[in-house]
Amino acid sequence: MRITNMSKKIFLSMILMMWVVVVCEPAISQVKREKVKWVPSTIKGITPGKSKYKDVIRLFGKPDYEGEAIDCGSEDLEEPSVTVIELGYKQDLKIEGVLARIGFVVDDETRIVSSISLYFKEMTKEDAIKIYGTDYYVITRSDYYNSTTREYASLCVYESQKRNQEVKVDGSDYPIYLVYPQKGMFIQVRDDNTVMGLFYTDKCNM
């Protein structure tokens, strides 16, 4: 069978297209799924992932509350393993210009602070955005929590996701999370648009 120059060109074009799909598509997909870098913040001298229990006590004094939290996913339900220590302070502190009560979660083994929590008397979603900026990503409860398996996903976001994009949610999708990777924090928002709390963490995949 005689192969014409036109047939050769078509054949070579098909080979080239297949090479692009096989070689280039994974690279494109990889770029699209690249995580946005999580940058832990330093709040009142404490940095999640670096500071330790002793640093919290040195800077904030004896906590009003200190308790151990159990690993809810432990296989041994009768004797669940202690994984973290929670520290709470009742006094309102001015943090980034806003009055809030502060709390800390510390790893029981390493004694390193894994998260800082702030609780406000009154704050709406709009108030929070005015204070902390518009460089956030929205994650809904259904994105973060699987009610069937009772497992939590991560709050990591990707370069392909759009910033500052409002999403339509119903009551079952609350709370929603405003995630600020460059500040290493996220804000929980109730269905009435009020803020439940703000959390600075050492990483996004908690």
Choice between 175 and 186, residue whose per-residue pLDDT is larger: 186
Checking phi first, is residue 19 left (phi over 0); if not, alpha (psi -120 to 50) or beta?
alpha
The one-letter amino acid code at 166 reads: E
Q: Is the pLDDT assigned to residue 132 strictly greater than 80?
A: yes
Please answer whether residues 190 and 174 qualify as being in contact, where contact means their C-beta atoms are separated by less than 8 angstroms. yes
Least confident of 52-66, 74-88, 101-115, 190-204: 74-88
pLDDT tens digits, one per residue of 179-191: 999 999 999 999 8
Q: Any idea which residue has 């598509």 for tokens? A: 25
More confident residue, 70 or 181: 181
Distance CA 74, CA 62 (A): 30
